[in-house]
Every structure is written in C-alpha cells, then in structure tokens.
Structure 1
Amino acid sequence: MSRYALVVLAGIVAAAPAGAQDGMVTVQKPAQLSPLAEQGRIAFGKTCAQCHGDWGQGNARQGPPLIHKIYESSHHGDMAFLIAMAQGTRQHHWRFGNMPPQPTVGREDALAIITFVREVQKANGID
C-alpha cells in the first residue's frame, strides 16, 4: 500500500498521508509533559485545538493532525511551525485549505506550543 493517497479537490492535487484522509489520528498522551510543554498545551488549547484537536490528533472538518510523521522535525522543523503561526501557510499536504496566520500567538507561546507538539509526537514514536 502506498504511503500517500492522492486527494483531488477544486482541481488541486495534494498528497495526503494514507490512512489519515479524514484528518484524524489516534494519539497516545505522554505520561508527563515538561513545564514548557504544559504551558504550550494551554496555549494550544486556546488557539490551535479547534482545528488540530486537543492533543494534535486533527479535526475531520477543520485541520490536519500534527501528531503525524509528516510533521516530524526533519520534514517540518520548528521554524516551519513558527512561520505557519506567524504568517499562515498554504495547503500542501491536506485538503483543509490554507492555514491563516495566528496573530494572537506571541513568540513565547509559539515556542511553548512547538515544545508541546514535539513532546506529544515523541510519545507517539515521531521524532
């Protein structure tokens, strides 16, 4: 089976990870978060969870899972997350459309959010 499935919407072809086309994955919560990641979890809940789910598992109607191999640090590094929060980003892996900028997220919260996402990724075997 192919690692990616093709999704065609509005004439756009995008590679969506196979098995996660609905935008949801099962997430194993870490046993414990670092203090910075806990700060990030709170900030994530205020700004990101509506689209990406409380633990980054995604939302079938709003946004992709961040706890997914596609977002491992070697493919989407921390700077990509910072830029996406500050400037938004164009749709390129999923069918949810462009992500708008998140102007209410300051740099300190953005770094904490990234720490939260990375710790949850690690708990799910994504480095």
Structure 2
Amino acid sequence: MKKYLALAALLLLAGCEAPDPAERRAALHLPPPDFKGEPAQGAQLFSAYCQACHGTSGAGTDQGPPLVNDVYRPQHHADFAFHMAVRDGVRQHHWGFGDMPAVADITPEQTEHIVAYIRREQSNAGIR
C-alpha cells in the first residue's frame, strides 16, 4: 500500500510545473538577471518618482528619509529591499516619516536604474 501511495505522490508531483524563472523574477519586482541599472537613467527616474520625498540626490526632506545615509548602505538594505519598497511599500521603521506607499507605476528595470543611482550617490558620499 505504501508503494502505491508513494507512486501516486510522484505522479501527482510530476504533473506540477515549477514557476517560470522570468515569472518568478517579475513577481518579485526584479529585472532580468543580466539587466544592469544605469545611474544616469536612475537620476532622471529618481527626480520624477522619489525626489519629492527623499530629496535632491537622496538627501531627504521633511516628507521622507535620506537614502544617502549609512542606514541604507548595501550591507543593511540590499538592493532587493528597494525593489520590495517600490512593489509593496514600507512600514515606518528607521525614521518618523510614516509608512511609504507602494509605487505601482515603476517597472523593475526602472527601479534597478534608481538603485544604481542611489548606490552611486552613496559611494560618492563614502557609504559602502
């Protein structure tokens, strides 16, 4: 009987398909694996989507925290955290600005450009 249950389980699992890697990345709000963000494009996108709250060059405002800050260094907030913030929003946790809402109209590729820009600005400020 156990043999038949094991065989039935294997047949059932064989009919299941693993999610397509591209679909999985898209669901996680990540660009294709070979995509490289460009800081220059990110600067323009940051200005359009992020600057109102996060300030010129990511220096912060009274509406949102500075992203060019040691709190957001790569070892503490990986690039993936920025993708999740855009996709899902962020609950207030380091600062007293309130929750950040999701930004639905930014693509994973645009987000990657923004992250490249933020990382460049952090590096220029000595944050690594």
Residue in structure 2 matched with residue 100 of structure 1 by the alignment = 101
Gap runs ≥5 in structure 1? 1-34
1:1-127 matches, within 5 Å, as 36-59=38-61, 61-127=62-128
**Which residue is equivalent to 1:19?**
none
Aligned partner of residue 100 in structure 2, secondary structure: coil
Q: Give the secondary structure class of the aligned counterpart of 1:39.
A: helix
What is the TM-score when the length of structure 1 is the normalising length? 0.71
The RMSD of aligned alpha carbons is 1.0
Whole-Å Cα distance in 1 between the matches of residues 87 and 43 of structure 2? 18
More strand by share: 1
- The structural deviation recorded for 1:104 is 1.2
Query: 1:62 offset after TM fit, Å?
Result: 0.3
Secondary structure of 2:58's match? Answer: coil
Normalising by structure 2, we get a TM-score of 0.70
| C-alpha distance in 2 between matches for 1:53 and 1:104 | 20
Per-residue CA shift, 1:31-53, capped at 9, x if unaligned? xxxx8101000000000000001
Name the CA distance, whole Å, in 1 between partners of 2:104 and 2:41: 18
Structure in which a larger fraction of residues adopt helix: 2
Unaligned runs of 5+ in 2: 1-36
SS in 2 for 1:55: helix
Specify the structure having the higher radius of gyration (Cα).
2
Q: Which runs of 4+ in 1 moved over 2 A?
A: none
Number of equivalenced pairs: 92
